[in-house]
Each structure stands twice: as structure tokens, then as C-alpha cells.
Structure 1
Amino acid sequence: MPQLEVEGAALTYDDEGPRDGDGVPLVFIHGWTADRHRWDHQVAHFAERRRVVRLDLRGHGESGGAGVRTIEELARDVLALLDHLKIERCVLIGHSMGGMISQTITLAHPERVERMVLVNSISRMTYSRGRGLLMATSTLVPFKLFVATNIQRAFAPGYPREEIKRYVRSSAGTPREVVMTLYGAMRAFDVLDRVGEISTPTLLVHGFHDIQLPVKQMLRMAKAYPDAEVRIIDAGHELPVEKPAELTAAIDRFVTVRAA
């Protein structure tokens, strides 16, 4: 697996598919406490005919590094990888926190993003008083319980328990410092007042049963986008693995129609 050293962190990434394939490269960015393998289904599908890049974000999966404090810092890591791979223009596909990273990149460098796909992601965290209190107090429980509670809530009712346990174990392997600081970074993330600047064609795909980032928050964001399509799927927050085929098909239709 190739790695790129960026500001003291060895970032692990995959660069697959034909260099002369259909359209610009697709760049997949995973979410909080996850890793690049969340995108296995999508990458296997698209790498048959176009270049596909994905990475483990700093402090996640097989990438090293810690000390990251902001979404902007993670965005700089992604841009450093694109520069290293000489990718001047791409389609950004981000899940949850990865969607926040995608929006950050697109706002700063719109010339580098041909299209954008946001999966179960939002532009501003908004909590009711009750949910805000729940989220604030959840940080006071033991770390493993904090992670397990958040990951279990991410899946729609009925998803296999053994699979959820596997994702809990994987997420718990993310360093505590990375988990907690990026949890705070996501809570502070707010570009809702700026998304009207994003003229990049954007697909917003969301799980109907997402209680981490509820659909109504995504719909509020969608109204602010000048050029957005919305697709809602019968799933929870972990769309890439809960309904992989449906998500892949939605992305495929969007990038194929838009590229035509």
C-alpha cells in the first residue's frame, strides 16, 4: 500500500483504475473513526473504468499521525495527496465528516472539483436542547462506551448486530485524541451560510433513518445549494455499507449523466 508523508503523518492511500478511463478521477473520503475500506463496494465498481483514489485520513485506519484539530487540516491532507498524484481536477465523494472535508475543499478550490457527492453529510451541526445535552454528556462516559454508543446509533434498525460490533471494534482502534478532537471539530463545523457560493454540481445522498445527522438538516442544506440533487435511501447513517449497491448506483447515475 502506498503512503505519502504529509506534515509528519504517513497517509495510506489507494490509487486504482485506468489513468485514461472515463472522466476525471473519483476521490473518496471516509468519515469519523472509519477508514478507506468503507468504500470497498464503490471502489470495486468504479475502478473498472476510471481512476479512483481513496485514503485513510490522518490518525485513522492505516495512516499515522495525530494532533489534528480541524476539518481544514484534514482538507489540506487530501489536497496534498491530490498534488502528489498530479490530480488537478476530480469528483469529491465524502461520507459524513468526509463530506465536511469535501465542502471545505470545494469552497477553497472550486476549480479543482468538477462535481461533489455528499453522503450523509451536512453543512452545520444543529442540536435540539435535549439532543445537545445528550451529546455533551456522552463525552463524560468511558472512551470505549462513547465510541460504541455513537457507532451503534449510526445504523438503521435491523442491521446485523455482529456487523455493527465489527465496526465498533474498528472505530475503537482510532486513537482517543483523534476521536475526541475531531468530534469537537465536527460539532463546530459550520459553512451553511457559504454553500450558496458552491456552483459545483452536487449530489446529496442521505439515509432516511439517519439519527446522527437527520434528513431535515440535509434538506435545509440542499435549499442553499445552487445546483443540487437529492436522493434519500432507506438506511441509517452508514449508507456506504448499509446499502452499498443503492449508493453506488446513485453515484454512478450522477457522474455519468453529468459527464455526458
Structure 2
Amino acid sequence: MNLFTTNDGTILNYKTVGEGYAIVLIHTAFDNYTVFHNIEDDLATHNQVVLIDLRGHGYSDKPNNIQFTDYANDVKELLDYLYIDQCAVIGHEMGASVAAEFSATNPNYVSSLTMINPTMIEDSTPEERIYRRYSEKIRTWDEEKQHKFLAAKMYYDKKKVNKFLKHVENTNGIATSNEMDSIKASFKCNNIREYLGKVTTPTQIIAGQHGERTTIVEAKEVADYIKDSEFEVFQSSGLYPFVEQKADFLNSVNSFIKRFK
């Protein structure tokens, strides 16, 4: 565990793997950096991979008040601490929103931006939206039955994803309800459209065909906001293209990063 203290006194948990050009991985809301455990070593073969538990997540401090802009500020402060002045950034789902804001406000730091299953919807989290979509059907079911039903709506290869998820740490249990509410509030009304319109970094957008937490329609809307962005649909993936089509994902992302670093 590596710890870094931001200018406002928040302690962040981070990890670096490998040597070479820096690639920063940013997880989605309510996840932590272990969600990238299956690709970090592959990306680190010829690069330095930087993983961070966003504030409020994982083993980082959990303030009761988080602003969306805090996340990108934390990334910048960590990169400065690590003496990294340029990098490729990869963000997953709501982490893609953080990556976009970081790229828009710190364009000199970012050589390329990869957004995985991004969305511009701000009124609720992806987790809330998919539950609401099927709430009439599943609201009286027990939690396990709900989870199995929703998994079928989020993943293409449920067996592969379930095996992968066993190795992702569940750290939400160490957070209080107030701390969880703070995370939820931070990702709502995040002005993501404003930041997307200011992104000048070469941008790659990857969408899983079978994901309903964020859909390919939502991802395409994001692509339309960013000039000259490249849009790619992974036909045999849902929420986790970097798991369900790992080899295809690594080939695509590595190729994109090499073009601009």
C-alpha cells in the first residue's frame, strides 16, 4: 500500500507497476483500483502503470463532502508527486468522466484519453439507473436474485466476469452510509458536458455492446461531443470490455497510446 497526502490533507492509496511511459487507470464510482488487476501487468510490460483509489473509494480517505473536481485535482497532485509530466489516461465508466475533466483542464499532461463505457447522464449513477429500469419487476426480490438478474443485463460472459470479480476487493463495507452518499452526490451534476466540449486530447471511446449500466447509445453521445474521437464497439462485452475481450482491448488500447505518446 502506497499513501500520498493531497494539499487538502486527504490521504490517497495508489500503486505503480512497471517502468517507462506512464499510463493512468481511473476506476468508476464505488470501485477501487483492483478492478484493473487483470490488465495492469500487461500494460506495465513496457510502461509505468499508475493506479489510484479515488478519494472516498478503496483504502483512500473518505471525506463526507466530495466535489467532482476533487478527483481530477487528486490525479494531478499525484502525478506531480511522482514526477510524471505526461501520460496516457484510461477511465472506466464514471472514471471516464474524471479522466475527461482531467484531460480538459490539464491538456499538457495527457497524450491520449481512453474512455470505457462513458456516459453524460448526470441525474443518477449508472448503478441506480439500471436498477430503476427494472425496479417494477425486481424490487420485491431478495438481493441475490436481483444481482443475478441485473448481471445478465450488464455482462456478455457472466462466467468470465464472475470469476474476475472474485479478485476485485470489495471495500465499500468499510465506508459509512454518509461516506457512500458523498460519493454518489459527487458524480451527480458534474457538468461533464462542459468538460467534454473542452477536450482536445486524442480520444478513444470503447463501448461494450451488451452493457445496460451504460449503453452504446450513451457512449456514442459522448463521442459526438469530442471532436475527432474514435469510437469502437466491443461486440462480446458489457460493463468490462477489458475482461470479456481482454486481448482485443489490450491490442486496441496499446495501439492507440503508441500513436500519440
Per the normalisation by structure 2, the TM-score is 0.81
Extract unaligned runs of 5+ from structure 1. none
What is the identity percentage for the equivalent residue pairs of Structure 1 and Structure 2? 22
Root-mean-square deviation (CA), in Å? 3.3
User: How many Å apart are 1:57 and its aligned residue?
Assistant: 1.4
Contact 2:155 / 2:237 at 8 angstroms: preserved in 1? yes
Aligned to 1:8: 9
Q: Aligned runs of 1:61-210 on 2, under 5 Å?
A: 61-125=58-122, 134=132, 152=151, 155-160=154-159, 162-163=162-163, 166=166, 170=170, 172-173=172-173, 175=175, 176-210=177-211
2:200 partner SS: coil
CA contact (8 A) 1:60 1:174 kept: no
CA contact (8 A) 1:200 1:227 kept: no
Deviation at 1:72, TM superposition (A): 0.8
**Change in CA separation of 1:65 and 1:8 when aligned onto 2, cut-off 3 Å:** farther
C-alpha distance after superposition, 1:183-204 (max 9, x if no partner): 2333323322552332210000
2:17 equivalent to 1:27: no
Give the match for residue 256 of structure 2: 254
Alignment partners' CA distance in 1, 2:168 and 2:38: 20
Maintained 8 Å contact 1:152/1:168: no
Distance change in 2, residues 1:113/1:230 (3 Å): same
SS in 1 for 2:15: strand
Q: Unaligned regions of 5+ residues in structure 2, if any?
A: none
TM-superposed deviation, 1:65: 2.5
Measured in 2, the distance between the counterparts of 1:36 and 1:151 equals 23
Alignment equivalent of 1:54, drawn from 43, 46, 51: 51
Please state whether the residue corresponding to 2:102 is helix, strand or coil: helix
- Aligned residue for 2:80, secondary structure, equals helix
- Give TM-score, length-normalised by structure 1: 0.81
Alpha-carbon shift at residue 8 of structure 1 (Å): 3.4
Q: Cα 1:162–1:200, aligned 2, differ >3 Å: closer, same or farther?
A: closer
Amino acid aligned to 1:247:
F
Aligned partners of 1:71 and 1:100 also within 8 Å:
no
Q: Secondary structure at the match of 1:34?
A: coil
In the alignment, the residues of structure 2 paired with residue 236 and residue 154 of structure 1 have an alpha-carbon distance, to the nearest angstrom, of: 8
Displacement after TM superposition at 1:44 (Å): 0.5
CA–CA distance in 2 between the matches of 1:154 and 1:172? 22
